A = this chain, B = another copy of it.
Amino acid sequence: MRPVAILGIGQTNIDEQWDKSLREIGGEAALAAMHDAGMDKVDSLFVGNMLSSTISGQNQLGAFFADWIGLWKQEAVKVEAACASGAAALRAGLMAVSAGDIDSALVVGVEKMSDKTGHDVTSALATAADADYELEQGISFVGLNALIMRRYMHEFGWKHEDFAPFSINAHANAMHNPFARLHEKITVEKFEKSSMIATPINLLDASPTGDGAAAVVIVPAEKVASLTGKPRIVIAGSASATDSIAVHSRKDPMFLSAAHHSAKRAYDMAHVSPEDIDVFELHDAFTIMVALSLEACGFAERGQGVRLGLENGISLNGRVPVCTRGGLKARGHPVGATGIYQVVEVVQQLRGECGATQVDGARIGMAQNIGGSGATILTHILKAE
């Protein structure tokens, strides 16, 4: 495989963007990334999206966006892996550039979720779960996560408030991210008093959805001049793994097997170990997922991920800074776009562009994107050279 670098990044605000269409949101991030890369044409387009067919009545987003942003004639395709669609699109683009068949790829993660009512969006999101064996029972996506969280609390003896540091950290960091959905500091008291959604998951355990898009331009690393003034960001590790789609089919629903396997493959490919990771943009769709991700990726023992939050291990100067731009919890979770937001944020850290939430001396960063309740998980490791 020839090495590949990220040359440009772009992103939009995450919000209820009533004045902008799916087209406009995706186009805005795409053009921002191309501008950042200093390119006005790329060989190919890979779009990560989960919901446009159900919410916007629009499929074939590859050609749809290639048309809109002027990539006429170029190759374009959509990749879908539920909430891991963004990272899955990046990996598809990476493979094509690595193979040598194309020399540049624009990867866009995009989601427009506000055009339907909450009920319709909940139904659309539920397509990430097993339609035959989970949804037929009437459970929602947050319900599945609630079952896992309750069992975890029972098994390992944690109280609900022990998860508060994950959300507090994310909200604090999002204060400094102009693209974030939420700009509001929270406290343990506020966390505990928040409205219940599906016990034990309350509103401040859960990430807000929204409309948004993020994009990166990737090219062969050898084509990136070393003297641009910015560090060269290479994709040193990339891996994808799956687990059973239905939670009840897993040997241990409290272990993210696909996170473990994709992280292990990515570490091996990048020749690093968890100790080497300076910043980790993880998939905190719900606070329970922070604990499970930290455990599966080797940052905490089984059942002890929560402790890392309580002991200040996830803050900007902690053992493994997470959600440095707000995470899904406060930056927001426009589902198919999230995986690209994570990668964009890791690039910002490695470039030293994060201001008040910059991790000092960050050289190696990891992004992990989860589809469904852990069924598809992709891990990417970036290095600044």
Please report A residues at the B interface, Cβ cutoff 8 Å.
1, 21, 23, 44, 50-51, 53-54, 56-64, 66-67, 71-82, 88, 91-92, 95-96, 98-101, 123-124, 126-128, 130-132, 135, 238-246, 249, 257-258, 261, 371-372, 375-376
Q: How far is the CA of A320 from the CA of B206 in the complex (A)?
A: 58
Closest to A269 in B: B101
Q: In the complex, which residues of chain B have a beta carbon less than 8 angstroms from the beta carbon of A249?
A: 67
Distance in angstroms from A279 CB to nearest chain B CB is: 24
Q: In the complex, which residues of chain B have a beta carbon less than 8 angstroms from the beta carbon of A72?
A: 242-244
Interface of chain A, main secondary structure: mixed
Q: How far is the CA of A258 from the CA of B66 in the complex (A)?
A: 12
Q: How far is the CA of A101 from the CA of B73 in the complex (A)?
A: 28
Distance in angstroms from A337 CB to nearest chain B CB is: 15
Contact A99–B372 (Cβ < 8 Å): no
Contact B127–A63 (Cβ < 8 Å): no
Given known contacts A67-B245, A73-B258, A375-B63, A21 and B132 CB-to-CB distance under 8 angstroms: yes
Contact B60–A81 (Cβ < 8 Å): yes
Given known contacts A58-B127, A82-B60, A101 and B245 CB-to-CB distance under 8 angstroms: no
Q: In the complex, which residues of chain B have a beta carbon less than 8 angstroms from the beta carbon of A245?
A: 60, 63-64, 67
Contact B1–A242 (Cβ < 8 Å): no
Q: How far is the CA of A224 from the CA of B149 in the complex (A)?
A: 48
Contact A127–B53 (Cβ < 8 Å): yes
Distance in angstroms from A272 CB to nearest chain B CB is: 17
Given known contacts A372-B60, A375-B63, A80 and B82 CB-to-CB distance under 8 angstroms: no
Given known contacts A1-B101, A81-B63, A74 and B135 CB-to-CB distance under 8 angstroms: no
Contact B62–A81 (Cβ < 8 Å): yes
Q: In the complex, which residues of chain B have a beta carbon less than 8 angstroms from the beta carbon of A76?
A: 81, 240, 242, 376
Q: How far is the CA of A258 from the CA of B67 in the complex (A)?
A: 12
Q: How far is the CA of A316 from the CA of B260 in the complex (A)?
A: 53
Q: In the complex, which residues of chain B have a beta carbon less than 8 angstroms from the beta carbon of A1?
A: 99-101
List 19 additional contacts besides A62-B88, A79-B80; criterion CB under 8 Å. A23-B132, A50-B59, A53-B53, A57-B127, A57-B135, A60-B127, A60-B372, A63-B81, A63-B242, A63-B244, A67-B246, A67-B375, A71-B242, A73-B261, A76-B81, A76-B242, A77-B92, A95-B98, A99-B99
Residue among A23, A80, A372 with most chain B CB within 10 A: A80
Closest to A93 in B: B95
For A131, give its contact among B50, B56, B74, B371 (CB under 8 Å).
Answer: B56
Distance in angstroms from A132 CB to nearest chain B CB is: 7
Contact B244–A75 (Cβ < 8 Å): no
What are 20 contact pairs spanning A and B, CB under 8 A? A44-B240, A53-B53, A53-B124, A58-B131, A60-B80, A61-B80, A67-B244, A67-B249, A72-B242, A73-B242, A74-B242, A75-B240, A76-B242, A76-B376, A78-B80, A78-B81, A80-B80, A92-B92, A95-B98, A95-B101
Distance in angstroms from A334 CB to nearest chain B CB is: 15
Closest to A75 in B: B240
Q: In the complex, which residues of chain B have a beta carbon less than 8 angstroms from the beta carbon of A23?
A: 132
Q: How far is the CA of A23 from the CA of B130 in the complex (A)?
A: 11
Contact A75–B242 (Cβ < 8 Å): yes
